[in-house]
Structure 1
Amino acid sequence: MELVIFRGNGQTGRLVTALALAAGHHVTLRDTPAAGVPERG
């Protein structure tokens, strides 16, 4: 499972990122939501 986390989410984004990494998910960090093809980390 791949999760896309937006850094602009602040504390919540960092918490979700930490939990996702701890659970072994692939996490892609992005600065802002963008239309088009998602980036692969």
Structure 2
Amino acid sequence: MNLDTEIRLKLLKLFPDGATAYAEGFAQDLSRMKCTISKKL
């Protein structure tokens, strides 16, 4: 299990609602990064 997954699981235990929002924001950041990277290539 990688570090990011561990962090997310800990967040889920601490704040079930906040972790969902965090996961969604994280997914958006990832897609944004992919767009930026593909534009540079």
Greater relative CO, 1 or 2 (CA 8 Å, sep 6+):
1
TM-score under structure 1 normalisation? 0.43
Larger Rg: 2
With normalisation by structure 2, the TM-score equals 0.43
**Which protein is richer in strand relative to its size?**
1
Greater helix share, 1 or 2? 2
